[in-house]
Structure 1
Amino acid sequence: MNSVCRGNGRTFVVTSVSSDSHMWNLVFLQLLLEENGGNVINLGACTPDELVMSECLRIRPDALVISTVNGHGHIDGLRLIRKIRGHSVLASMKVVIGGKLGVHGSRQAGSRAELVANGFDAVFEADADLDRFLDCLGLGTPAPQRVAPTEIRST
């Protein structure tokens, strides 16, 4: 897909794991991040680990967002995060993963802990709160602005 849309905020690389051919989740995340002011580079589905790493080296995003719905995110995610954390330039990059991380769904609570222990900054299950996800990426909803009484339009 390799789509780029420029916002006014932070830059995100969105991708799936190498074994996941689903695109709808990546398009959803791209639109969500763009609507909240993010610049998004969407690498698409079935992205090889080496391509994810080379694009992150080239772009230097504020965060790498990995989404998966095929149930193999735990396995593929561990392999990828170990490569990222082992790379001298990418080791400090913020990396989050979410979606259907295992074939048994949220019953695999231990897999979340293992993903974090191996270097993910955050792990989001498929039913995660989107506000928490956006807050994690620094795109949380700004506080409502108060309007002085003289600025209120009367009808």
Structure 2
Amino acid sequence: MKILLSGTASDSHTWNLVYLALFLEERGHDVVALGPCVSPRLLTDACRQHVPDVVVLSSVNGHGYRDALASVRALRAEPELAALPVAVGGKLGIAGRSGEAETARLREAGCDAVLADGADDLEALCSFLAARARVVV
């Protein structure tokens, strides 16, 4: 699968993105890594340019919830990107794991998977990707 991997608008961290890119590439995926501090506009433009199968957003600065909400809303506002699968994960809130209300809002906005920052969540990401893998004939 072609995966567009991105940080969120306010997050300047890169180690999480490097780790995820390597993790995904080792599993055979083609990864287009946008890097940190990606605005919703830059994300939508990159999705049009690269035509990924899935978008994975990662944040570790504690503002991932707010940033991911803006990004996924921007994607869903574009007709050609409205059905593009999106997973978001990492440290999404300043208090640690997102609560049920935040997870529900992210899902309502269009996130297909809301993950945290543990090993179980990497397994959940792999399951999410496997469920969306295209069968090439």
TM-score (norm 1): 0.80
Q: Which runs of 5+ in 1 are unaligned?
A: 1-9, 140-155
- Residue 128 of structure 1 and its aligned partner are, at CA, apart by 5.0
Equivalent of 1:99 in 80, 83, 90 = 90
Could you tell me the percent identity over the aligned residues? 40
Q: Bigger relative contact order, structure 1 or 2, given CA contacts below 8 A and separation 6+?
A: 2
Q: Which residue of 1 aligns with 2:104?
A: 113
Q: Secondary structure at the match of 1:98?
A: strand
Matches within 5 A, 1:54-133: 54-106=45-97, 108-127=99-118, 129=120, 130-133=122-125
The two structures, once aligned, show a CA RMSD in angstroms of 1.5
Find runs of 4+ consecutive structure 1 residues off by over 4 angstroms.
none
Is 2:126 the partner of 1:134? yes
Q: Distance in 1 between matches of 2:128 and 2:74?
A: 22
- Residue 107 of structure 1 and its aligned partner are, at CA, apart by 5.7
Per-residue deviation, residues 123-147 of structure 1 (Å, max 9, x unmatched): 00112512221110128xxxxxxxx
Q: Which residue of 2 aligns with 1:14?
A: 5
How many positions carry a matched residue from both structures?
131
Larger Cα-atom Rg: 1
Q: Distance in 2 between matches of 1:107 and 1:68?
A: 12
Is 2:39 the partner of 1:48? yes
